[in-house]
Amino acid sequence: MKDILILAIESSCDETAAAVVKNGREVLSNVISSQIDLHTIYGGVVPEIASRKHTENINPVIREALSSANVTLKDMDAIAVTYGPGLVGALLVGVSEAKAISFATGIPLIGVHHIEGHISANYIENKDLEPPFVCLVVSGGHSHLVKVLDYGEYEILGRTRDDAAGEAFDKVARAIGLGYPGGPKIDKVAKSGNPDAISFPRAKVVGSEYDFSFSGLKSAVLNYLNSCEMKGEQIVVEDVAASFQKAVVDVLTEHSVRAVRESGMKKFALAGGVASNSALRESVAKAMEAEGVSFYKPSPILCTDNAAMIGAAGYYEFIKGQRSGYDLNAVPALKLGDR
Ligand code: KG4
Ligand code: ZN
């Protein structure tokens, strides 16, 4: 069978990324231009700055993705691009670029869902992984527990009612003075802290056993910090980080175990930026082993926003015959499963 080469583009938040992916699972190049340094001084992503930087970066990033894969646009069978969810101005840069290339060259266009991309990151390094499986997608913008029934077919079991897991990490990190982005920093300092030092709540959403809620936990951390300050007590940042992280990881692990038990699925995968978290990887690995369930996780570079995952998801849409028209638009609140 002829190889299928896809040029993938991702610009939904603060990473401008392009990749060339062969047959959905082989990454020929994966270029990521991160804007983190630019947004750090503001303590978070500034949408207008993100859009402007994407505009500056997108052409060089695509050129580099093609040249380091040693291919040209003529070799491409399709162009896959993230069209939602994300920041509208940021998404529009990638979508407009992909449409322009597609229109100029006649290469078919495929709009890809960002979360579907995160899930599909698991296909790249795990050549044997095929649906059905359960996937926990935890990032800065989303927390979803999903049944992956088939390629591109999902059943959402649970989602966050308020903050996403990564958002909680970022907010708590800011409160304890670690800065942005908080997830990797909490992960690092938590290694020298005591996860049982402070008892933070494990929130349950009544009536929706798979849903998450992290805003109560975030408030509990802020209250704890305030009360220490009032009492003149010294805050041990490492202990706060470790105890907060344990509270998040416990809830994510518990829900994941319930999902594999109740679904009877024998495979479980992590995805999204928070899937890089070392405590989460360890806890889920242990729990899934005890359940007799195979555990999959992308390397950290494929957990963070990247275009290789968009190429993987785009490939499965492509072979199903899915194509987007030139009316493809950015959809900031796109739901998983919508087209
Ligand atoms: O998937 P991603 O790169 O972007 C979104 O689609 O949101 O996720 C970024 C999020 C940020 O909130 C960041 O703090 C978090 O992932 N993150 C982590 C770790 N690495 C990144 N959270 C916890 N532990 C980590 N090691
Ligand atoms: Zn993401």
For residues 129-151, give the mean pLDDT: 96
Indicate if the pLDDT at residue 256 is higher than 70: yes
- Which residue from 274, 305, 310 has its CB within 8 A of the most atoms of ligand 1, so it is best to mutate? 274
309 in the same domain as 293: no
Q: What's the pLDDT at 173?
A: 96
Long-range contacts of 249-253 (CB under 8 A, 24+ apart): 249/277, 249/279, 249/280, 249/283, 250/202, 250/283, 251/202, 251/203, 251/212, 252/136, 252/138, 252/165, 252/212, 252/280, 252/283, 252/284, 253/280, 253/283, 253/284, 253/287
How far apart are the C-alpha atoms of 311 and 120, rounded to whole Å?
9
Other CB atoms within 10 A of residue 219 CB: 12
DSSP for residue 160: B
194 in the same domain as 45: no
Could you tell me the strand order of the sheet in which 26-34 lies?
26-34, 15-22, 5-10, 78-84, 109-113
Q: Domain with 266 in it: what CATH number?
A: 3.30.420.40
Mean pLDDT of the chain: 95
Q: Identify whether 330 is part of a domain.
A: no
Indicate if the pLDDT at residue 41 is higher than 90: no
168 in the same domain as 82: no
pTM: 0.96
62 C-alpha vs ligand 1 centroid, how far in Å? 24
Q: Identify whether 38 is part of a domain.
A: yes
160 in the same domain as 288: yes
15 C-alpha vs ligand 2 centroid, how far in Å? 9
Q: What's the pLDDT at 339?
A: 60
184 in the same domain as 116: no
68 in the same domain as 165: no
Going through the chain in order, the beta strands assigned E by DSSP cover 5-10, 15-22, 26-34, 78-84, 109-113, 133-138, 143-150, 153-159, 267-271, 294-296
66 in the same domain as 41: yes
Q: Identify whether 326 is part of a domain.
A: no
Cα-to-chain-centroid distance, residue 279: 17
Indicate if the pLDDT at residue 133 is higher than 80: yes
31 C-alpha vs ligand 1 centroid, how far in Å? 18
76 in the same domain as 151: no
Query: Into how many domains does the chain fold?
Result: 2
3-state secondary structure of 64: helix
Beta-ladder partners of 8: 19, 80
Q: Percent of the chain at pLDDT above 90? A: 89
For residues 179-202, give the mean pLDDT: 95
Residue nearest to atom 23 of ligand 1 (CA): 183
159 in the same domain as 286: yes
Q: What's the pLDDT at 260?
A: 98
Task: Tell me the pLDDT tens digit for each residue of 153-173.
Answer: 999 999 999 999 999 999 999
Shortest-distance atom of ligand 1 to CA 180: 14
Instruction: State the residue range of the domain holding 266.
Output: 131-298
Helix, strand, coil share of the chain (percent; to 5):
45, 20, 35
